[in-house]
Chain A
């Protein structure tokens, strides 16, 4: 059965009530879930698991407090439900997902959705938590009030799902064309009337109110404490960066050793010639240079997943709102910016949940300055090659401290950019901050491991396809055309890459970048971490005799310290990831702003690298 013949069932509900967790459980997909309101910002469709039903297709929608949208993610839900996005994506049946532990807050939305006239059923999610809190809900009474099946479920524990599917099947077979709705924003009196109606319903349907857990209140007294709160936040972030460097370095060294050995083994067992050069210099040096950073990237992702899953991220948003507000951002900018440590692209999409457009625009423009995981390989390689691992203050290594400084520099320049936008009145001012703080939850270890496996797979797939291909091409342009007979300089200087590098080099020479680094920066625009691979390939092609040494040793021999520091400064600012700007353009729909963001970052990168190179030159 093709997708268009299936019956589309929409999942709707408040932010953070567990729609995406339910969607994942019902479809077998692994869409991102976190304990933070507003993680899903786009509709996602997938078929229900085969073993349950073959004629139902589910669509997960961004959470919303009402059908009257306040932000672009909520507008997606509004447009899909009312058919403004086209008939094909309008669901015929709805599952209204409610948090069973707080029906008073969630039920008015169910009443509002009911008025759309679509057949629906209600899933009381987190019923396990409601049960353990001693809350008793009269399911039959709710069914009578709403005239629909009401099913207690737990999406994370996968309880009650087959009953839910059975109910859905029954509704779906009777569903027809969705009725046309003339929607108008609800008036004040309508909102109040619904709330009153809910009080009546609850009087009949709540048999025992139960005792909500005190855990969240207790934890908040620490995490939101005026003094302890910010201290905990700073220490947490510092520990994450230390962990990335110190913990990550150990497996990284093992993988590095393996890559070098594998390169030597390959070289020894293949007849000398172009083919061996391609495999060793292009593929193994290039791809190997990137995959050694897998452990560090996984540590970073693990930390971010734990922050998001526990419910702490919303607290960080609260603690940071004042600082963010000073520079025209909002507490809601914290989640996109922190997830920018992973990758700017989902971070820019995540900014959709910011209600106020000027705040959202500013967040999107500054997010590329947050140190994303693709910069990690570049920093790590440069630090390992040029920064001695001296102890600082007895406990921290100098290398870890430099890494932290680079992360702080990224975040600080994001703030500075936002402040600049605000002071030049380039984006509007004002704006607000309104965020529900979720209940704390113990992060699920299986979910964490599954998330890390997914990321490792995505990272390796990318290294094995896209980066591999770029490396092969780079090897080709560094090898051809071949040098003339009797050439006295290294072969690479006669190649296309050599000519390209010498052409670009004058612009980058004031930064202390030589032509080889200039060549390597070019594929870096496709993906930042490719710089490391590209250097691996360029240096391997240049120096075929000395295959045994590590890239870091070759760089140490070839570059001065000011050059290395200048490259670090360049990487803090440089708009090296074109995909980020493609997404930026799509989100803000303005070439003007996108080009503005790109040029500001490019200029900042050049200036910062120039100043660093000159200053470091004075001292050394």
Chain B
């Protein structure tokens, strides 16, 4: 039982690491704001 639960812990930590990495690498950092949907634009293009 303990081994199974510890296995879960490793899995969860690995998934969390993936989520954070993907978020940081995706360039979609513009979604990383205070939880508002003001910038619901999928991709924000650079200003001309």
Query: Which residues of A does B touch, CB under 8 Å?
Result: 29-32, 42-44, 72, 75-76, 79, 271, 273-275, 278, 297, 301, 339, 342-346, 349, 352, 372-374, 454-455, 457-460, 462-463, 465-466, 468-473, 476, 526-529, 577-580, 582-583, 586-587, 589
Contacts and interface: CB of A to CB of B under 8 A. Distances in A.
A449 to B, nearest CB: 14
Contacts of B36: 301, 342-343, 346, 373, 455, 458-459
Given A30-B40, A42-B45, A473-B16, A466 B32 contact: yes
Interface of B: 1-2, 5-6, 8-9, 12-13, 15-17, 19-20, 23-24, 29-41, 44-48
Nearest to B43: A42
Nearest to A71: B47
Given A459-B34, A527-B32, 5 more contacts: A349-B39, A462-B35, A466-B20, A472-B12, A589-B47
A297 B34 contact: yes
Contacts of B45: 42-43
15 contacts: A42-B45, A44-B41, A76-B48, A273-B6, A297-B35, A339-B38, A343-B34, A373-B36, A458-B36, A459-B35, A471-B16, A527-B32, A586-B46, A586-B47, A589-B46
A353 to B, nearest CB: 11
A101 to B, nearest CB: 28
Given A32-B38, A339-B38, A349-B39, A278 B9 contact: yes
B44 A349 contact: yes
B41 A42 contact: yes
A586 B12 contact: no
B35 A373 contact: yes
B34 to A, nearest CB: 4
Contacts of A580: 33
A278 B12 contact: yes
B7 to A, nearest CB: 9
Nearest to A526: B32
A529 B46 contact: no
A32 B40 contact: yes
Given A32-B40, A469-B16, A345 B33 contact: yes
B19 A273 contact: no
Contact of A455 (B2, B12, B35, B41): B35
